[in-house]
Amino acid sequence: MRLPRVTIDTSKVPPRVRNRLIFTFDAALVPISLYAALCLRLGTFDPINRSPFDPLNFVLISVSSIALLLGFQLYRYKLRTFDIYGIQKIGLFSVAIALLAVTISYFLNFWTPRSISLIYGMMFFLFANASRLLIQSALNLLDLVDTSQEPVAIYGAGTAGIRLASMLRQSSDMRPVVFVDDNRALKGLIIAGLRIRRPSALRRMAELGRINRVLIAIPSLSQLETSNLVDKLSDLDCEIQVVPSYVDLIYGGGTIQDPMTIYPDDLLARETIDLGAPEIARAYAGRCVLVTGAGGSIGSELCRQLLDCAPRRIVLFEQSEHALYEINRLIEPIATTRNIPITARLASVTNKSAVEEVLQQENVEIVLHAAAYKHVPIVEENELEGISNNVFGTHIVAEAASAHGIERFILVSSDKAVRPTNVMGATKRMAELIVQDLQSRTAATKFAIVRFGNVLGSSGSVVPLFQSQISSGGPVTVTHEDTSRYFMTIREAVGLILTAGASSSGDDLFILDMGDPVKIIDVAKRMITLSGRTVRDAANPHGEIEIEVTGLRAGEKMHEELFTEHDTVEPTHHDKIMRANVTQFSQIEVAAMLKKLDDSVERRDIVAIRSIIKNYVDGYAQPETVASS
């Protein structure tokens, strides 16, 4: 027979009413405690009539103690979470009323054995604590039959797990029932009122319905270890969630109801790569560094990491006023404390005069060129703007860098430049050809290209898109079940760019070893799981979030590549960084390509532009339908 639903939630009682009830209860304990003290000391149940103890003394001590009770505010300690701090407060009050009883009896010359005052304080301490613990136990017992609370297991019996259990006991939604820990020395122990069991017990508990959810509370685990643990537990018949650390809960705005802030590192099927090295910082120390596209995802992270390299000056070059304002606002306070001047220039890389002016006025020594239109569907429908910014913008900045004898120029490219099926990828390949050509006829400036895959967490990437879709209840949209990409974090991408800038000897194309490509649909599933929700599919029709396949968009590839079979790849000083030798064009070929593109853009001839791309970009596959601008 199923028990009726019982819900006890004292938090719904108005605070003023709750406080008055607790104060009245404590006030009643004052005369009861004094009476009990007299009975114990005098050995009679009628101490007032059978001893010289003055009834007026009893009244004065009781009334004064109740008045003192108001000052101590014991009623503010919540019954459900009564703990050592509440016990200490009651202890202080008990000492205070014992001293009060001695004082009243002494100054008013009442007959009172000194031991009565001591016993009086001890009796109140005993009664007040015992009553609160009994009430707390009763409420906990009622929680066991409260079907509105979801039973959960806490994976990790360390400090984070204990704090989580304490927080959950204040929640009306979840009820901790057991700790789970791999440490064999903890097996069978009871911590915070919960027994610690081995992970192997979870399956049986889930099958019996004793737990509906497992909360992983081990903040010391790395992202890969956490991801592996989630995968290990994913076949349990219950939900798996990863809670943030205690610090994140307090300072990061996390909650138990929204337990997981998904970081890009959590979605990699590998350990993140640390590219930091002292020589990187030395390469930028004391130099003036210009960052184009400074307000973008890559550009802003470049600016933040450059602050750790102690440059002479950082020049922010950005065409979006809002983006420039935001990055300047974010880094200027840090730069000020480190005595690093910041210059903010609002201009486009297609503005040749503005580019040359800033290089000359600021005495720039290193250029990190991150400015580009990168969203494939947008550029696919706006070919003219994409070519103007990505191709001619790169040509203007790179040529100006060469003319002014800039020490280093690093182009941020993309894996979409390899056998592209979209205009964006083609423009990045053309930008690579321009930089390679300039290096072949420039000795003063060392040019380098950095090519990498999708950057998790950047604007327009799948992470913010999927998070938004998950938070709104789905569906999560992917273009194809088999679509795969190489993924890296913003930190890895920027580390690769800075490494290229530090170690390039000229005419280098650097590629990061990013492991195996990852299916987009697997990223979607992992994000749903890490968000504490379940995937709704044929195998689990009752899941919470559905994944919807929408079909490949115009210009989108099924799989990306970092290089072709015609390119040669060789190792570098870093075991995770490779140097690729790719096809280059002659100066005449690059000049002809730019002249034809310029004429076609001037005429706004999209058909001609697509034809030029096909002729000059190896492997370009033009879509069947050409969008018009």
Rounded CA separation 306/232 (Å): 39
Q: What is the DSSP string of 577-597?
A: EEEEE-----HHHHHHHHHHH
* Domain ranges within the chain, ordered by starting residue: 10-144, 150-261, 278-453+487-514+561-616
| Chain centroid offset of residue 428 CA | 31
Rounded CA separation 369/292 (Å): 5
Query: Which pLDDT score, from 0 to 100, does residue 246 have?
Result: 45
Helices (H), 504-585: 520-530
Which pTM value belongs to this model? 0.58
Measured CA distances, 534 to 236, 254, 473, 524 (Å):
12, 20, 11, 11
Helices (H), 145-245: 159-168, 201-207, 223-233
Domains 150-261 and 278-453+487-514+561-616 share a fold: yes
Dihedrals φ, ψ of 91, to 5°? -60, -40
Strands 508-512 and 518-519, sheet pairing = unpaired
Q: What is the pLDDT of residues 561-578, one digit of tens each?
A: 666 666 677 877 777 778
pLDDT, averaged across the chain: 79
Q: Which one has a higher pLDDT value, 558 or 259?
A: 558
As to burial, measured by CB atoms within 10 angstroms (0-12 exposed, 13-18 middle, 19+ buried), residue 510 is buried
Question: Does residue 6 carry a pLDDT above 50?
Answer: no
Whose CA is closest to 407, among 363, 444, 359, 362?
444
Whose CA is closest to 256, among 266, 267, 240, 242?
242
Query: Which pLDDT score, from 0 to 100, does residue 223 have?
Result: 60
Q: Which residues of 224-234 are buried (b: 16+ CB within 10 A; e: fewer)?
A: eebbebbeebe
Dihedrals φ, ψ of 32, to 5°? -65, -40
CATH superfamily of the 278-453+487-514+561-616 domain = NAD(P)-binding Rossmann-like Domain (3.40.50.720)
Question: Does residue 273 carry a pLDDT above 70?
Answer: no
Q: Which one has a higher pLDDT value, 194 or 357?
A: 357
Sorting pLDDT into bands at 50, 70 and 90, what band is 249? Answer: very low
Rounded CA separation 218/180 (Å): 11
For the chain, the residue count is 629
Q: Which one has a higher pLDDT value, 628 or 223?
A: 223
Q: Which one has a higher pLDDT value, 44 or 408?
A: 408
Residues above pLDDT 90, as percent of the chain: 23
Question: Does residue 254 carry a pLDDT above 50?
Answer: no
Q: Which two tokens stand for residue 20?
A: 């008055």
Measured CA distances, 569 to 65, 94, 509, 510, 582 (Å):
85, 79, 10, 9, 9
Q: Which two tokens stand for residue 15?
A: 């605070």
Q: At what angle do helices 114-144 and 15-42 cross, to 10 degrees?
A: 140
Averaged pLDDT, 517-545: 79
Contact 392, 434 (CB under 8 A): no
Averaged pLDDT, 488-504: 80
Contact 367, 293 (CB under 8 A): no
Q: Which residues of 152-163 are buried (b: 16+ CB within 10 A; e: fewer)?
A: bbbbbbbebbbb
Q: Which one has a higher pLDDT value, 249 or 194?
A: 194
Query: Which pLDDT score, from 0 to 100, does residue 35 have?
Result: 83
Q: Which one has a higher pLDDT value, 464 or 335?
A: 335
CATH class of residue range 150-261: alpha beta
Query: Which pLDDT score, from 0 to 100, does residue 13 have?
Result: 56
| Residue reference for tokens 């008013």 | 108
Query: Which pLDDT score, from 0 to 100, does residue 256 have?
Result: 45
Q: What is the pLDDT of residues 168-181, one digit of tens each?
A: 776 667 788 889 88
Rounded CA separation 139/82 (Å): 12
> Assign residue 474 a region: left if phi > 0, alpha if psi is -120 to 50, beta otherwise?
left
Question: Does residue 1 carry a pLDDT above 50?
Answer: no
Q: Which one has a higher pLDDT value, 290 or 250?
A: 290
Rounded CA separation 231/534 (Å): 13
Q: Which one has a higher pLDDT value, 310 or 11?
A: 310
Q: Which two tokens stand for residue 424?
A: 């964006």
Long-range Cβ contacts of 103-109 (<8 Å, 24+ apart): 104/57, 104/60, 104/61, 104/64, 105/57, 105/61, 108/57, 108/60
Query: Which pLDDT score, from 0 to 100, does residue 10 have?
Result: 47
Query: Which pLDDT score, from 0 to 100, does residue 199 have?
Result: 86
Whose CA is closest to 176, among 218, 230, 217?
217
Question: Does residue 529 carry a pLDDT above 80?
Answer: no
Rounded CA separation 385/348 (Å): 12
Which residues are 293's β-sheet partners?
none
Query: Which pLDDT score, from 0 to 100, does residue 392 have?
Result: 96
Q: What is the pLDDT of residues 322-346, one digit of tens each?
A: 999 999 998 998 899 999 999 999 9
Q: What is the pLDDT of residues 356-407, one digit of tens each?
A: 999 999 999 999 999 999 888 899 889 999 999 999 999 999 999 999 999 9
Rounded CA separation 500/496 (Å): 6
| Residue reference for tokens 């697997």 | 522
Sorting pLDDT into bands at 50, 70 and 90, what band is 269? Answer: low
Query: Which pLDDT score, from 0 to 100, does residue 2 have?
Result: 35
Question: Does residue 185 carry a pLDDT above 90?
Answer: no
* Lowest-pLDDT choice from 135-149, 279-293, 313-327, 405-419: 135-149
Strands 190-191 and 194-197, sheet pairing = antiparallel
Helices (H), 293-449: 297-306, 321-337, 352-361, 376-381, 383-387, 393-403, 423-440
